[in-house]
Every structure is written in structure tokens, then in C-alpha cells.
A and B are shown apart, each in its own frame.
Chain A
Amino acid sequence: MAEMVTLTIDGIEVKAPVGSTVLDAAKSAGIKIPTLCFLKEINEIGACRMCVVDTGARSLQAACVYPVSEGLKVVTNSPAVREARKVTLELILSNHERKCLSCVRSNNCELQQLAKDLNIEDIRFDGETYDFCVDDASPSIVRDPNKCVLCRRCVSMCKNIQGVAAIETMERGFKTIVSSPFNMSLNDVPCVNCGQCITVCPVGALKEKDDTQKVWDAIANKELHVVVQTAPAVRVAIAEEFGNPVGSRATGKMVTALRKLGFDKVFDTDTAADLTIMEEGTELLGRIQNGGKLPVITSCSPGWIKYCEHNYPEFLENLSSCKSPQNMFGAVLKSYYADKMEIDPKKMFVVSVMPCTAKKFEVQRPELGTDCYSDVDVSITTRELARMIKEAGIDFNNLEETHFDDPMGDATGAAVIFGATGGVMEAALRTVADILDNTDHAEIEYKAVRGVEGIKEAEVEMGGMKVKAAVAHGLGNAKKLLDKIKAGEAEYHFVEIMACPGGCVNGGGQPIQPATVRNEVDLRAERAKAIYVEDESLPIRKSHKNEKMMKLYEEYFEKPGSHKAHKYLHTHYVARENYPDDCSEGCC
């Protein structure tokens, strides 16, 4: 039990643990202090001055970083405090591109909410405003500095949590801007497109590249057979966009909505996740038995892949050669499914709905497809799908629940848990243990690899050997783990890395929850819970028991790791320079 101190906030006596802040203490006393830059455990820098309170010091103090102390007297609601917050907010608004009506974040904007909460009627201090150009060269992320409020949550996320540092605060004073080195486009710097910056942005300064029009156009094109696949993390998050609490499952409604949007077929990416387990599991067993490169590191997360290519080229050989489930699925659709349905793959249009902005980059990778077509044509995020549903006038919450289409709509619980950190590992262990022990294990829940701890390790006995596994989520944790492996301080057989903290459920393409929610609810944990409930609800929970998929091998790919499987289901990686000489000039 932490040592407690007693302080007074607005005349109320509050007990708070030593080391906590005035903001925490006020919350416990039911006093709401407005915040903007503050994001618990991610950005605690006291920069925006929205949370100022009177502590009796010469100037007002930022409650979000002001430590409690015995006998401290705090006033959070005095004319001086209210005026200071209001003036600061007016100043921020005076340099904010206030095109709220056409902003992607309208109604989900923390600045807008603050203006409402603080009763801003007029902006008294108008003056010069930012006139930066918008960086939209990246296939994944659009950066609009004119809307930026310099809260620095994105910088903190990119630099401190992800360890990528593709964006930084640059210049000084009124010219301060969050930008990439040398003002280059995000497309030209070692940005991995994870989109975590977007999910922490309180305003519309960072958003995904909107590809919904491409999807609408494809659906409207009668020549095309338009197929959609959805990743497991989408179904446990999309309902949030329609006012439901974090962690609501909406698989059936989502499928119905997709059908209503006009897709010819609605498939489940999970089918390919099962396929991934078969291919990756085979690869792992092969490398263990034949003395191949270990550990095998998962390759499902395109943000992680690009990070590895930029920063750890020495680990490229460790990466599983399996395509990500998204692309595996696209390849299956345009080969096996096209054959079976007698559709010209060139006339097929595969859309993926992903919790991820990096998938937009991934679908463009030249090696993922054949000369004639890409595995996947367009990848949209959970948020974009929600916008399409709203635009189409579909009443999501009142939809009936339907099931994915055949033949690519059946998946196992093992595939569903791909959406949470540790899920790929657990799914692989379920299958590999059965194969090595040549049995059907009943104990299939590997809890050691679940949860939000940054790096998780497990040692599992199977087939007379100890399989050592490690799981990292968030690239900052990945870096720690890789450095440990590189230094020879740890040895593993199998490593799962997901770029986003918490894995895909907390991907850069998922619904954006404001700080007021994020500071209270662990999105990673709540959405993951829904994933595991879905896993438990499914009759089959091991990938190798997926009959539809086994049929796929029978009919088409022969067996895992076959020549044909390699042609369609595997890929290769390239080392990337961080700042190549020929990258384009700065945008502004």
C-alpha cells in the first residue's frame, strides 16, 4: 500500500497516494479538470496548460503533472483559473484550422469538446495562422499541420512508445511544427505506417489515407466481382463507432452491413489466419528439425515488417516467409477461389477491412501479388468501414446478425485470437503441440502469452522438447526484445511481434477513443477480452482442425509448405535504408 497524503481540493479533503498527481486526486474527488495534451502513461508533459489549477504558487500549475503533497491546497474552479483556461483555449483555437464541418474528426474531436465544455463563444485573439502544406504522400497516413495543436501525443507515441521517431517537434515558437526530419514526407522517412499517431491525435491533424471512394467505385462497377475480407480485430471494435462500449462484439452485424454495402462476397480473413498457422507452424517445425534460422519471427504485422527492414535487417532471415493473413487470403481468393468460381482474377476486386493503416502500405508492396494483379486491391480501416456504413444510411445497431459466406467464411478460435497480442503465438502453439505430441490436447489456453505486459515469455514442453517462445507488442518492446536476442542474452524458438501496443485490437485503424476514455479504460485489454470470448464461443479452436481449410490443401495447395503454397502464400523482405540519398525534397 502506497503512502497516502491528505490534500484539499476546492475545499474537499482528499486522500491520495504519494506520487500521484493533482489530476488523479481531483478525479477521485469527483472533480473534472479539463485536459488536452495529457494521455496517461503516454504523454505526461504539462504542455497544453488546459489543466491549470491554483496551488497557491506564483503562477498556475498543470494538474496533470503536479504531484500531491501533504497539506496541499488546490483550487480548480476560480475566476482566475477559468479565465486562464479559456484564454489558452482561445489562443489554441485562434491558430487552428477550424474547418470542423468537413473534418474527419468532427464530433469525435477533443478540441471541439473542450470548446463546448469551456463555453467558448468567441475567439478574441485572432491573428496569423499556420499555412503549412498537407503531407498526403504516404499510402497510409495523412498529416495536416494546420490542424495540429502541438499536444505532442503523436511524437511521444512514435518516439517513446514505438521507438520509431519518424516525427518530432521541430522549429520554435509560433513556427513550431510536428514534422518528419528535414520536413520530408512520412512516405520518405522510416515511418512504419502503424498509425498509432492517429489514434492518439485529439484533432484531425493525423488521419488515415481515405480509400473509401475506391471501394465505392469498385462496388459500383458491374464488371467486377468485389470480395471483402475482415480481420478479427475489426469485429470487436467497429461497434464503438456506433456508440457502443469498448469491447462490444458485432461480428454478425458487421457481416450484414458489408453485404448491404454491396459486396459480392463477405469472407473472413480468419480463414487465412488458420492457413498462416499451418504454413508458419510447418516452417517453425522445419527450422527446428533441420537446424534452420531461429527464432522464427512472425510476419503478420506490416508495421513490424517495415520496422525490421529499416532497423534490424540482420533479423530479416528470421522472419517467417509467410505472407500476412490479409495477403495470403487475397492470393487464395485470386487463385483457388477464382479457379473454383471460374472468375478471371483480373476481374476480381479484393477489399480488406483491417484494424490497421500499415496494411494500406502492405497491399502496395510489389512482391505481394503477381505481375498482373495485387493480392489485395484496397485495404480500408475499421474507421473507414464505419464511415461507409454511415454514408450508406445503414442502421448498424439494429441489423440482424448473419454469417460469413462460403467457402471462405469458416474459421477457428485460433484464428480469431490473432487480433490480440500473443494470439498468433497461442494459435501456433495449439497446432504445433498437437502435431509434435501427435495428440489432441484439451488444454489449449496459453495464458502466459496473453495480456498487456510489454514482453511475455513462455516455455512449453511438447514432443519431448522445450519450445521457448516470446511475445512483444509495441515496437519499443520489440526493440528491447530484439536487442536482447542480438546480445545473446535470450534464446527462443518462436517470437511473435506486433507493431501496435496490444496487437491488432489496438491497431492504428481502429476507432479513436478520446483521452477521457483512454485514461480510464485500457482499450487493449477490453477489446482483447471480446476476442477471447469469441474464441471460446467457436466450436473449433485449433487451426489444423479447420475442415474448409484442409479441403483447400486437398484441392489446391497439396500440403503446407508445398511448392504451390510457396508460390502463393509466401514472400520475401528487403533491407531498407532509413534516409536514402534520392528521397524527395521537403514538402513545405
Chain B
Amino acid sequence: MQIYRSHILVCGGTGCTASKSLEIISELESHINANSLQNEVKVVKTGCFGLCEKGPILVIYPEGATYVTVAPSDVKEIVEEHLVKGRIVKRLLPKDAKLAEVVTSLDKVDFFARQMRIALRNCGVINPEVIDEYIACDGYKALGKVLTEMKPADVIAEIKKSGLRGRGGGGFPTGVKWELASKPVADQKYVCCNADEGDPGAFMDRSVLEGDPHSVIEAMAIAGYAIGASQGYIYIRAEYPIAVERLQIAIKQAKEYGLLGKNIFDSDFSFDLELRLGAGAFVCGEETALMTSIEGKRGEPRPRPPFPANEGLWRKPTVLNNVETYANIPSIINNGADWFASIGTEKSKGTKVFAIGGKINNTGLVEIPMGTTLREVVYDIGGGIPNGKKFKAAQTGGPSGGCIPAQLIDTPIDYDTLIQLGSMMGSGGLIVMDEDNCMVDIAKFFLEFTVDESCGKCPPCRIGTKRMYEILERITEGKGEESDIEKLEILAKNIKASALCGLGQTAPNPILSTLKYFRDEYDAHIKDKKCPAGVCKSLLKFVIDADKCKGCSLCQRKCPTNAISGEIKKPYVIDQDKCIKCGACMDACKFKAIEKKA
């Protein structure tokens, strides 16, 4: 085996790939060759590091020096300085927002220092396309242990004891789920993996599959052993081409190594795995819809009971867990249930990966122990709100979730607290909002998503979400009536009660939680016809302050609808009937003479 003195890890996750990390890799290779370093330095394409805000990211070992927002044009300097001369290229190092200090290694940045990586343990560390690297990090040790030392019931007991709960949304205890599926006697059972991550903004499952696909494969085999299934399916959205490719490679390698297939570890246990590509319908993340889709039918939920543990895929007992849940399994087996249960809170054990986005400095992926407060996530890990703005609320749980307002920022994040607050863990999207976000508009945004993604099977969701969206649209356009709030409440309550599946039942949550915490904003839109945050266009006016206007005519020239008129060197005016409120004039004005008025 070739031993290299240095490894350069380049993030090959979707985010960094989009910002040219593949180009960086080819630049690296050509400069390394030009400097005859090809036998000393190895370039490794890894999965996501998590700090997507600063991508593309590149880490050079053994120094562990981390370079952020690297451009292909930076590569020459990195090779010539760092690799040839051993001088760190300081200008590309991350800056810690709080300390305003340059640090060499990612581990020392607050963003990482406060994290605890279990599900993401190998992401950004190993080459996901080389099974040996996974094995080097204790990969498949858990499967080996399970198959040679444990009985299926022991495995289930261990997972139950760990307190692991489903990371896909509902938070159902994983061990109990396995136990239920282990009970029925059937000629065939299935293990499925939900990789149909669909919450807007969430991408932790994609990251795990891109950075550490074997951990999911290993866990599925363990689940198969525990419940007595010999066949698994990973249902993954086709929009994740990198994850799909890495999974395909990983499955092929696992088969070559005999870690999938017949008589694994010389036991009686055989397990095979196939990929099924989904077309990206949000509802196919719902377990029964996912299985219906695997069966080749229109992806729609079916009523439960019967539950998948008894009648799942092709009406056979089936276990379905999501990617992140599976990624925890090998560590639990290797380190023991007690270790895992020591992390987190009383009822929410372990860690949770969040995709932080919105109005926050460090957008990206973080894995934190359950019970970490929202404040720590926003300020310590996320680096606070940009431009010194005020934190208003955080939205968790995607379109099924709700908002946590500023006054509850010290809330510990776990399954039960979030439910109590009218939100939910969901798959772990966390969108931060500041004073410039209109909460009615936020609710409308999520409703629009649900309206688009409703499968159309049951009327409460198909028509009900549409009607709620129409009411919100009316309110944000200043056409809301006082009875609209009552209508929203009636619809929300009854859609929750009677929709067929979880998607419909939780669709009203964004409305209910914003109504709960931000009722005043709804009232302002309806009664005063004002949008306090200045977001809803119909309720805004762009006005030129005659005192500040120098009459330069720049705004007039920028206006796409010729709504601005005036004479040079005299104050200009905006014709409100023609104005489409695009804001181009405000951006153009050098004298800050144009104001947005609520």
C-alpha cells in the first residue's frame, strides 16, 4: 500500500460540489503532479463537513489545517506554499466569529467544538468510496459483533436500552419498532431506509449518505438480523445523484467483501440491499406512501392500521427507519447502549443533526447532544444573527413544524419539549428568523409547500390546505377579514383531526404556532392592513423623501415599470398605481432617499 505523508480532504458533498469542489480536486491533482508530489500527497474526496456556509472546504493532514471558501484559483498557492514549503496559507483559514481570531484547525472553531458527532462521525474524515477507510474507523465491527456474539433479541434489547428514537420526524422508539416487526411470523420481511429527505432546507441524510454510506448499510444489515429480514431497500430521491452514486459504490463494495449477501461472517444470516429511486414527492417520506412507491404505485399513504411492522412493503412485516437513525446504530452496538443513553436528556437520548439555515452566520450541518438549548445553537454554534439584527424565532420541523419565539430561546431542544411548544423535531431543519421576517408570510411559505406536496388523496389535505393558503394569501394582500382567523382555526383543527396521513395532520402546524406566538402580526395585517416586518408587498409603499432626494434620476432609470417621474435636480415621485414594489429604486438610490413604508 502506498503511504502518503499528507492527505488532502476535499468536501465532495452536494453543497461544496455546487461551489466547484470537483474543479478544485482536478486543479489540486494537476498542481501536485506539476510539483512531483503525487507519491507524497493524496487527494481524498469526502462527504460533507457540515460548515456549508464556508464551502468549499479542504483539510490538509497531518497538520489538520482547514481551508475555507477555497476557489480553484487558490489551489496553486495551497500546493506551492503548504505542500511544497510547509507554510500554512493563512488567508484561507477560517475565522472564528466570536474570537475574531484565525485558527488553524476546524476542531477549534466554535462551530465544531460544541458539536458531538455520532451520526456524522465519519463525514469529512473518510473517503466514502473506499470501504477500507470505513472499516479502519471500526466499520462493520458492529455487524460482526452482532452476528457472532448476539441473538436477534439481544440486538433489539440493546437498541431499546439505548433510548434511540426515530430521527425522521415522529421520534418513535427504534428498538420498539424493531421488536414489533420481529414478532410476526412471515416467509419474508423487509428492512427499508427512508432517504427521501424532503423538508425544505434539511440535508443531513444526504450528507450521511454522501459522506458515510456504509454506516447505513451496516445498520440495515443489523436491523435485518434483528427482525429476521433478508432483503432491504433504500428509498432515495433521485435528486441526490452524488448520494445515489456513493451508495451504489458502497453496496457493490460491501457485496464484494461479503458484508452483504449470503452467510455474512459465516453465520446463517444473509442480507441483500437494493436502491429504489424516488421522484422527490414530499409525501413519499411518509412511511406507507414510501412503501407504496417502492411497490411501483402512485406514492400515496394508506391508512394505518395495519402498521408496517405487520403489513408493510408488499404486505409483509417491514421496518422503516430514516438515514440518520441508522447512522447511530453501529456506534450504539460498538460503544454500548449505556454510552448512548448517557448522552442527551431523559426521554431524548443521543445527538441530533440539524441543518441550520436562514438568518444565521454559520449555515450548515451540526450534530449536537439532545437538550442543547436553542440559544447555544443560534449564538454559540451558529455564530448569531448577521448584521446585528434581533432574533425573532426559529422554525423547526419543516412544513410539519412550528416556531419557537425569542422568549423561549432557552428551550432545550428535544422531542417532547418541541411538541409541547407546538412544533416538532421533524427531520432536523432549523430555520432562524430575525426581525425582518413576517410570520404570516412564513406560515404562507410553508403552506404553499404543503399545498404543492399534498398527494391529493384525502380532501382535508387536498382542499383544506389550499383553502388555508388562500386565506393567508388574502391576509398578506391586505384583503383579510376578521373572520379569517376563526376560519383558519376551524380548518387547522379539523385538518389535524381528519387528514389521512402525518403530512396532512401536521400541515396546519405552521399556522397554529405562528397564531399562538405572533397573533399580533396577523391582527396588524387584517385590521391595520400593515405588515410590521415590511415583507408583504401589497401592504407596503415605496416613497421618495423629497428632502433627501437630489433629483439624480437614477431611480427613474432603474424602475422597470416607469412608475417614477420627475425633473432633474428636483425631487422625484413614485406613482403608487404603477409601482410593483420590486425595490429596485431603493437599492439604486445613493442618498437613501427611498423608504419602504408599512
Interface residue ranges of A63-109 to B (CB < 8 Å): 65-67, 80, 83-85, 87-88, 91-92, 94-95
Interface residue ranges of B491-544 to A (CB < 8 Å): 491, 494, 496-500, 505
Contact of A91 among B283, B451, B464, B496 (CB under 8 A): B464
Once the chains bind, are A172 and B456 in contact (CB under 8 Å)? yes
Once the chains bind, are B456 and A171 in contact (CB under 8 Å)? yes
Q: Give the contact stretch, choosing among A120-128, A327-335, A434-442.
A: A120-128
- Residues on A with C-beta less than 8 A from B463 are 91-92, 94-95, 125, 174
Contact of B459 among A60, A83, A92 (CB under 8 A): A92
Say yes or no for B160: interface residue by CB 8 A criterion. no
When A59-B497, A61-B303, A80-B497 are in contact, do A94 and B467 touch as well, CB less than 8 Å? yes
Once the chains bind, are B466 and A150 in contact (CB under 8 Å)? no
Contact of B303 among A66, A92, A125, A128 (CB under 8 A): A66
When A169-B456, A172-B281, A176-B456 are in contact, do A49 and B498 touch as well, CB less than 8 Å? yes
When A62-B303, A94-B467, A174-B462 are in contact, do A47 and B500 touch as well, CB less than 8 Å? yes
When A45-B302, A172-B456 are in contact, do A60 and B467 touch as well, CB less than 8 Å? no
How many chain A residues touch B (Cβ–Cβ < 8 Å)?
A: 38
Nearest B residue to A169 by beta-carbon distance?
B298
Contact of A47 among B281, B298, B457 (CB under 8 A): B457
Say yes or no for A173: interface residue by CB 8 A criterion. yes
Interface residue ranges of A163-188 to B (CB < 8 Å): 168-169, 171-176
- Residues on B with C-beta less than 8 A from A171 are 456
CA distance A175 to B462 in the complex (A): 9
Contact with A along B450-494 (1 / 0, CB 8 A): 011111111110111111001000000000000000010011001
Say yes or no for B296: interface residue by CB 8 A criterion. no
Q: Which of A52, A58, A59 has the most CB of B within 10 A?
A: A59
Say yes or no for A512: interface residue by CB 8 A criterion. no
Nearest B residue to A54 by beta-carbon distance?
B497
Nearest B residue to A64 by beta-carbon distance?
B303
Say yes or no for A48: interface residue by CB 8 A criterion. yes
Once the chains bind, are A172 and B453 in contact (CB under 8 Å)? yes
Once the chains bind, are B462 and A59 in contact (CB under 8 Å)? no
Contact of A84 among B302, B462, B497 (CB under 8 A): B497
How many chain B residues touch A (Cβ–Cβ < 8 Å)?
A: 34
CA distance A169 to B462 in the complex (A): 13
CA distance A549 to B486 in the complex (A): 74
Once the chains bind, are A46 and B456 in contact (CB under 8 Å)? no
Say yes or no for B86: interface residue by CB 8 A criterion. no
Once the chains bind, are B467 and A65 in contact (CB under 8 Å)? no
Once the chains bind, are A87 and B490 in contact (CB under 8 Å)? yes
Nearest B residue to A177 by beta-carbon distance?
B456
When A84-B498, A172-B281 are in contact, do A65 and B491 touch as well, CB less than 8 Å? no
Q: Which of A60, A91, A176 has the most CB of B within 10 A?
A: A91
Nearest A residue to B464 by beta-carbon distance?
A91
Once the chains bind, are A172 and B458 in contact (CB under 8 Å)? no
Once the chains bind, are B487 and A172 in contact (CB under 8 Å)? no
CA distance A80 to B490 in the complex (A): 11
Contact of A173 among B306, B452, B467, B496 (CB under 8 A): B452
Nearest B residue to A168 by beta-carbon distance?
B298
CA distance A85 to B460 in the complex (A): 10
Say yes or no for B305: interface residue by CB 8 A criterion. yes
- Residues on B with C-beta less than 8 A from A174 are 451, 454, 456, 462-463, 466
Nearest B residue to A155 by beta-carbon distance?
B298
CA distance A87 to B487 in the complex (A): 11
CA distance A127 to B463 in the complex (A): 9
Nearest A residue to B300 by beta-carbon distance?
A169
A154 to chain B, nearest CB (A): 15
Once the chains bind, are A83 and B494 in contact (CB under 8 Å)? yes
CA distance A206 to B281 in the complex (A): 29
B469 to chain A, nearest CB (A): 9
CA distance A150 to B305 in the complex (A): 23
- Residues on B with C-beta less than 8 A from A80 are 497
B105 to chain A, nearest CB (A): 47
Nearest B residue to A69 by beta-carbon distance?
B305
When A66-B303, A173-B466 are in contact, do A91 and B499 touch as well, CB less than 8 Å? no
Once the chains bind, are B466 and A128 in contact (CB under 8 Å)? yes
Once the chains bind, are A65 and B458 in contact (CB under 8 Å)? no
Nearest A residue to B490 by beta-carbon distance?
A87
Once the chains bind, are B499 and A59 in contact (CB under 8 Å)? yes
Nearest B residue to A83 by beta-carbon distance?
B494
A56 to chain B, nearest CB (A): 13
Q: Which of A49, A58, A60, A127 has the most CB of B within 10 A?
A: A49
CA distance A124 to B453 in the complex (A): 24
- Residues on A with C-beta less than 8 A from B466 are 127-128, 173-174
When A92-B463, A128-B466, A176-B456 are in contact, do A84 and B494 touch as well, CB less than 8 Å? yes
Once the chains bind, are A49 and B460 in contact (CB under 8 Å)? yes
Nearest B residue to A87 by beta-carbon distance?
B494
Once the chains bind, are B303 and A173 in contact (CB under 8 Å)? no
CA distance A66 to B307 in the complex (A): 11
B279 to chain A, nearest CB (A): 11
Contact with B along A491-507 (1 / 0, CB 8 A): 00000000000000000
B329 to chain A, nearest CB (A): 27
Once the chains bind, are A67 and B467 in contact (CB under 8 Å)? no
Once the chains bind, are B460 and A88 in contact (CB under 8 Å)? yes
- Residues on A with C-beta less than 8 A from B456 are 150, 169, 171-176
When A49-B459, A65-B303, A124-B487 are in contact, do A59 and B498 touch as well, CB less than 8 Å? yes
CA distance A306 to B466 in the complex (A): 41
- Residues on A with C-beta less than 8 A from B487 are 124-125
B199 to chain A, nearest CB (A): 17
Nearest A residue to B502 by beta-carbon distance?
A59
CA distance A124 to B490 in the complex (A): 10
Once the chains bind, are A125 and B453 in contact (CB under 8 Å)? no
- Residues on B with C-beta less than 8 A from A49 are 458-460, 498-500
Once the chains bind, are B498 and A150 in contact (CB under 8 Å)? no
A543 to chain B, nearest CB (A): 46
Nearest B residue to A175 by beta-carbon distance?
B456
Nearest A residue to B451 by beta-carbon distance?
A173
Contact with A along B164-199 (1 / 0, CB 8 A): 000000000000000000000000000000000000
When A49-B500, A61-B303, A83-B494 are in contact, do A172 and B467 touch as well, CB less than 8 Å? no
CA distance A174 to B498 in the complex (A): 17
Once the chains bind, are A87 and B298 in contact (CB under 8 Å)? no
Contact with A along B415-456 (1 / 0, CB 8 A): 000000000000000000000000000000000000111111
- Residues on B with C-beta less than 8 A from A172 are 281, 283, 452-456
- Residues on A with C-beta less than 8 A from B500 are 46-47, 49, 62
Once the chains bind, are A67 and B453 in contact (CB under 8 Å)? no
Interface residue ranges of B5-42 to A (CB < 8 Å): none
Nearest A residue to B473 by beta-carbon distance?
A127
Q: Which of A85, A94, A127, A169 has the most CB of B within 10 A?
A: A127
Contact of B505 among A46, A59, A125, A149 (CB under 8 A): A59
Once the chains bind, are A88 and B459 in contact (CB under 8 Å)? yes
When A48-B459, A59-B496 are in contact, do A125 and B454 touch as well, CB less than 8 Å? no
B310 to chain A, nearest CB (A): 11
- Residues on A with C-beta less than 8 A from B453 are 172-173
- Residues on A with C-beta less than 8 A from B494 are 83-84, 87-88
- Residues on B with C-beta less than 8 A from A150 are 456-457, 459, 462
Once the chains bind, are A67 and B306 in contact (CB under 8 Å)? yes
Once the chains bind, are B464 and A66 in contact (CB under 8 Å)? no
Chain B interfacial positions (CB closer than 8 Å to A): 281, 283, 298, 302-303, 305-306, 451-460, 462-467, 470, 487, 490-491, 494, 496-500, 505
CB-CB nearest 4 A-B residue pairs: A176-B456, A173-B454, A46-B303, A87-B494
- Known: A67-B306, A174-B466; 14 extra A-B contacts, CB below 8 A, are A49-B458, A59-B498, A66-B303, A87-B494, A88-B460, A94-B463, A172-B452, A172-B454, A172-B455, A173-B454, A173-B466, A174-B454, A176-B456, A176-B457
The 8 sampled A-B contact pairs (Cβ below 8 Å) are A49-B460, A84-B494, A87-B494, A91-B463, A91-B467, A95-B463, A125-B491, A174-B451
